[in-house]
Structure 1
């Protein structure tokens, strides 16, 4: 097992090819260990070179609403008045800390999605 840092696109492609070959490796075997190490290296390379942009909080809320079959009016107990809900969903008002807490607690929207970080 010769494992090296992934520094270039060619290194990255080579690591992906090797991971594909090792996908059926059993845990605790030398091949399984190699797969584990390569996967970690690839994840690190991808985090540096292909970062995932921050989520738009309104899109996160809309996504959860769709998943749960909710309408804007269903958010009034969580966010406040219908006008506040409308302003939030139309990007005319920022989420407050209490709104973020309520959306997380009641709809299980991740904090990271709500703060756009």
Structure 2
């Protein structure tokens, strides 16, 4: 087992512990970011980064999964998250009545709407479409 002083110093700066709360997750992510910002990592730094990454992964496995929402349901969630009102989306949909029809699922999102929404919310247009599972047949 390796026991280099550089690794010990990393442990002193930010001792890795199991993550049990969001604050601990944020602190661990900051430690990870500071390492990644360095660019080229030493073997000790890579090992330490691996430990921190494992702790983050283990914590995230305990969280509730994010539901697979897309389309109008995703739009509703984004509106709520950004605390928007339907009239805030008029530049995208042209009229408040179209916004209302879409939110009440009387109309569907068009490709143009999706492109404009993606730009507005700074997300990929792909998030508005259902995720397709790829099945590989290895036989």
TM-score (norm 1): 0.51
Cα offset, 1:112, TM superposition: 3.0
Runs of 4+ that moved beyond 4 A: none
Cα offset, 1:54, TM superposition: 4.2
Number of residue-to-residue matches in the alignment: 95
Distance 1:74 1:82 in 2: 9
Return the structure number with greater helix share. Answer: 1
Root mean square deviation, CA, Å: 4.0
Q: Do structure 1's residue 92 and structure 2's residue 106 form an aligned pair?
A: yes
Distance 1:96 1:88 in 2: 10
Distance 2:123 2:71 in 1: 9
3-state SS in 2 of match to 1:91: coil
Unpaired runs of 5+ residues, structure 2, are: 1-17, 19-43, 52-65, 132-139
Cα offset, 1:85, TM superposition: 0.5
Q: Do structure 1's residue 65 and structure 2's residue 54 form an aligned pair?
A: no
Cα offset, 1:109, TM superposition: 4.1
Note closer, same or farther for the CA distance 1:76–1:70 as it changes in structure 2 (3 Å cut). same
Note closer, same or farther for the CA distance 1:53–1:64 as it changes in structure 2 (3 Å cut). closer
TM-score (norm 2): 0.45
Distance 1:75 1:63 in 2: 14
